[in-house]
Amino acid sequence: MKQLVNTMNWIKKDYASHPFRFTIEFIAWLITIGCSVVMAMTVPNPPLFELYMVWIFGCVLYTWAAWTRGSFGMLANYVALTLIDSVGLYRIIITG
Protein backbone atom coordinates (compact mmCIF):
# COMPACT_ATOMS: atom_id res chain seq x y z
CA MET A 1 0.00 0.00 0.00
CA LYS A 2 2.84 2.37 0.84
CA GLN A 3 4.33 1.84 -2.65
CA LEU A 4 1.01 2.85 -4.23
CA VAL A 5 0.89 6.02 -2.12
CA ASN A 6 4.51 6.80 -3.04
CA THR A 7 3.74 6.27 -6.73
CA MET A 8 0.69 8.54 -6.58
CA ASN A 9 2.75 11.22 -4.83
CA TRP A 10 5.46 10.92 -7.50
CA ILE A 11 2.82 11.33 -10.25
CA LYS A 12 1.38 14.41 -8.52
CA LYS A 13 4.88 15.88 -8.11
CA ASP A 14 5.70 15.20 -11.77
CA TYR A 15 2.48 16.89 -12.89
CA ALA A 16 3.02 19.87 -10.58
CA SER A 17 6.59 20.43 -11.81
CA HIS A 18 5.90 20.07 -15.56
CA PRO A 19 2.16 19.97 -16.36
CA PHE A 20 2.62 20.43 -20.12
CA ARG A 21 5.16 17.61 -20.42
CA PHE A 22 3.03 15.40 -18.19
CA THR A 23 0.03 16.00 -20.48
CA ILE A 24 2.08 15.23 -23.60
CA GLU A 25 3.37 12.01 -22.04
CA PHE A 26 -0.15 11.02 -21.03
CA ILE A 27 -1.42 11.62 -24.58
CA ALA A 28 1.50 9.59 -25.98
CA TRP A 29 0.67 6.81 -23.54
CA LEU A 30 -2.98 6.79 -24.65
CA ILE A 31 -1.86 6.68 -28.28
CA THR A 32 0.43 3.70 -27.74
CA ILE A 33 -2.16 1.78 -25.70
CA GLY A 34 -4.80 2.57 -28.34
CA CYS A 35 -2.55 1.34 -31.14
CA SER A 36 -1.80 -1.87 -29.24
CA VAL A 37 -5.49 -2.54 -28.63
CA VAL A 38 -6.39 -1.89 -32.28
CA MET A 39 -3.52 -4.14 -33.40
CA ALA A 40 -4.63 -6.95 -31.08
CA MET A 41 -8.27 -6.67 -32.11
CA THR A 42 -7.59 -6.62 -35.85
CA VAL A 43 -5.02 -9.43 -36.15
CA PRO A 44 -4.33 -11.03 -38.62
CA ASN A 45 -5.03 -8.00 -40.85
CA PRO A 46 -4.39 -4.83 -38.82
CA PRO A 47 -4.64 -1.43 -40.52
CA LEU A 48 -0.87 -0.96 -40.52
CA PHE A 49 -0.80 2.25 -42.55
CA GLU A 50 -3.06 4.06 -40.10
CA LEU A 51 -1.47 2.46 -37.05
CA TYR A 52 2.04 3.38 -38.19
CA MET A 53 1.07 7.04 -38.63
CA VAL A 54 -0.54 7.27 -35.19
CA TRP A 55 2.20 5.20 -33.50
CA ILE A 56 4.96 7.36 -35.02
CA PHE A 57 3.20 10.50 -33.80
CA GLY A 58 3.10 9.01 -30.28
CA CYS A 59 6.80 8.15 -30.52
CA VAL A 60 7.61 11.72 -31.55
CA LEU A 61 5.69 13.00 -28.51
CA TYR A 62 7.61 10.61 -26.27
CA THR A 63 10.89 11.69 -27.92
CA TRP A 64 10.21 15.32 -27.05
CA ALA A 65 9.25 14.37 -23.49
CA ALA A 66 12.43 12.31 -23.07
CA TRP A 67 14.52 15.21 -24.37
CA THR A 68 12.95 17.68 -21.93
CA ARG A 69 13.33 15.18 -19.08
CA GLY A 70 16.99 14.67 -19.86
CA SER A 71 16.46 10.92 -20.11
CA PHE A 72 19.01 9.42 -22.49
CA GLY A 73 17.54 5.91 -22.33
CA MET A 74 14.04 7.04 -23.21
CA LEU A 75 15.36 9.42 -25.86
CA ALA A 76 17.46 6.72 -27.55
CA ASN A 77 14.54 4.28 -27.41
CA TYR A 78 11.97 6.61 -28.96
CA VAL A 79 14.33 8.00 -31.60
CA ALA A 80 15.05 4.40 -32.62
CA LEU A 81 11.36 3.45 -32.64
CA THR A 82 10.49 6.55 -34.66
CA LEU A 83 13.16 5.73 -37.25
CA ILE A 84 12.35 2.01 -37.45
CA ASP A 85 8.61 2.56 -37.75
CA SER A 86 9.11 5.37 -40.26
CA VAL A 87 10.96 2.89 -42.46
CA GLY A 88 8.02 0.50 -42.06
CA LEU A 89 5.56 3.23 -43.04
CA TYR A 90 7.72 4.17 -46.03
CA ARG A 91 7.79 0.55 -47.15
CA ILE A 92 3.99 0.33 -46.91
CA ILE A 93 3.68 3.50 -49.00
CA ILE A 94 6.09 2.42 -51.75
CA THR A 95 4.75 -1.13 -52.01
CA GLY A 96 1.17 0.09 -52.19
For 13-60, the pLDDT digits (tens) are 999 999 999 999 999 999 999 999 999 999 999 999 999 999 999 999
pTM of the full predicted structure?
0.89
Average pLDDT, the chain: 96
CA-based radius of gyration for the chain: 16
Ordered DSSP codes for 8-38: HHHHHHHHHH-HHHHHHHHHHHHHHHHHHHH
